[in-house]
Amino acid sequence: MSQHQDTVIPPPSFSRFAERFPAVVEAYDRFGAVLRAAGPLSAREVALVKLAVSVGARMQGATYAHARKARAAGIADADLEHVVMLAAPTVGFPNMMTALGWLRDALSGAAPADGG
């Protein structure tokens, strides 16, 4: 089973993709594992970076996924909120507020608007 499925229940769209293309998902998971192992960041730091990158790229589905994964890894909601707030000077206050809404929705168990 892929890492995605072991840590957090994935959204239906990902589950359908994984059922249809399991080899692609396994290769993607291996790629991520190699990248994580290539540097000195802790698992906590990696999770926070992934959330920050998702927010900065304005990727709603990725923000939901990385928020859920970070929480499942034991990172406090206040820490996740702080990461999103730190994006304001870079992405702008309105974009940060949008991402903060995504974070709060993800932590409440809501699905992204795109169903992902």
- What are the structural domain ranges in the chain? 1-39, 41-110
**Residue with the larger pLDDT of the pair 62 and 2:** 62
Model pLDDT, residue 115 = 56
105-114 pLDDT tens trace: 999 988 777 6
Distance CA 24, CA 14 (A): 12
- Band of the pLDDT at 2, cuts 50, 70, 90? very low
Residue 6's alpha-carbon distances to 37, 84, 86, 104, in angstroms, are 19, 25, 30, 23
**Residues 3, 33 contacting (CB under 8 angstroms):** yes
Taking residues 58-66, report their average pLDDT: 95
Distance CA 42, CA 55 (A): 20
Model pLDDT, residue 109 = 84
pLDDT higher than 90, residue 9: no
pLDDT higher than 60, residue 68: yes
**Residues 51, 66 contacting (CB under 8 angstroms):** yes
Correct CATH for 41-110 of 1.10.3720.10, 3.40.430.10, 1.20.1290.10, 3.40.50.2300: 1.20.1290.10
Distance CA 64, CA 56 (A): 13
* HSE (side-chain half, CA atoms, 13 Å) at 38: 6
